[in-house]
Amino acid sequence: MKAVHTELHRSHDPQFFLVRGVVKRTTEQPERADRLLKGLKDGKHQLVDPTKFGQGPRARIHSPEYLSFLSEAWDAWAALGDSGPEMIGNVHPVRHAATYPTHIVGKLGWHTADTAAPIGPGTWAAACAATDVAVTAAQMVMDGEDAVYALCRPPGHHAYRDMAGGFCFLNNSAIAAAHLRQKHERVVILDVDVHHGNGTQGIFYARPDVYTISIHADPIAYYPYVWGYAHERGEGPGLGANLNIPLPIGTGDDGYLKAMDVARKAIESFAPGALVIALGLDASEHDPLKGLAVTTPGFRRIGQAIAKMGLPTVFVQEGGYLSDILGANLTSVLAGFEEVR
């Protein structure tokens, strides 16, 4: 399986992470990509440079106001003269009868769901590069590759149409799915990150053409807390095209594979032309965010289960944080897929 990657991700190097009132360095560090690259090398995957697709694929998913904000945010922030080294909102309007702000501090709050998406001078460039990685992988699959892996950083599945959050700015998985829609009438996004893919769900919640499925740690006690419950099924034309499978904290391999079987049956009923895997590796028993307990052999079984779905597949990297086993888990899930396909 080929893998798409760019070193441009390094321009995004966030520092701030607020955990239960304690400021720590974020776990979404450039070193994540280094460890994932080691996993690709160990799996003997050929690396491919991304093609620059420009703003078009991003504009299919994100609002014009949001894209304008992200592209101009750092310069406006720096022009304040008394601003900090990263953009972190201190106002998060609920938008009830609200007016879109003109001041950069107001826009920052409007367009961020939480404090876990600090914006630095290189964030926009890195986020755009990540979308190019995802779209390149999708285009390769559209052109005939059976499956392609996209090493996207920063990740994307917590990003809404017009909001960043949870380390995410542009929704790479959603953008890849929208690109695949140019060829396929129906597409599925299967999110196997330990966190619910709330941004992806929000983007497609009223659409019947992209079925969003998320397997994740139960949000009753885990981020994002207010999205990801089983009763969230979509709305309007999209009713029934969203499936959440929350798992008890600490669920291991067997419980996870049972959830994968539920997802497989739903995907078969939907009969899509292509599949996007929002590949979080943070369901690992060794991940620092400690939500689920999937082992390295368990990730191989997950890869095998995905392969058995028999669909053209784009793997888009989401979470998976600094642990000694991160690269091995990537090697394992892709190897499991290749064993079957």
Can you give the pLDDT at residue 94? 84
Listed in sequence order, the residues at least 6 apart from 74 whose beta carbon sits closer than 8 Å to its beta carbon are 87, 119, 120, 121, 123, 124
Q: Which residues of the chain have pLDDT under 50?
A: none
In this prediction, residue 96 carries a pLDDT of 87
pLDDT of residue 293: 98
CA–CA separation, 150 and 136 (whole Å):
8
Of 5, 158, 184, 195, the active-site residue reads 158
DSSP state of 11: G
Ordered alpha helix ranges (H), the chain: 31-42, 56-59, 64-78, 104-110, 123-142, 172-180, 198-204, 253-270, 296-307, 326-340
Q: What pLDDT is stored for residue 97 in this prediction?
A: 84
Catalytic status, residue 157 = no
- Minimal CA–CA distance to 193: which of 214, 172, 221? 214
What is the Cα Rg of the chain in Å?
A: 18
pLDDT digits (tens, 9 = 90+) for 231-286: 999 999 999 999 999 999 999 999 999 999 999 999 999 999 999 999 999 999 99
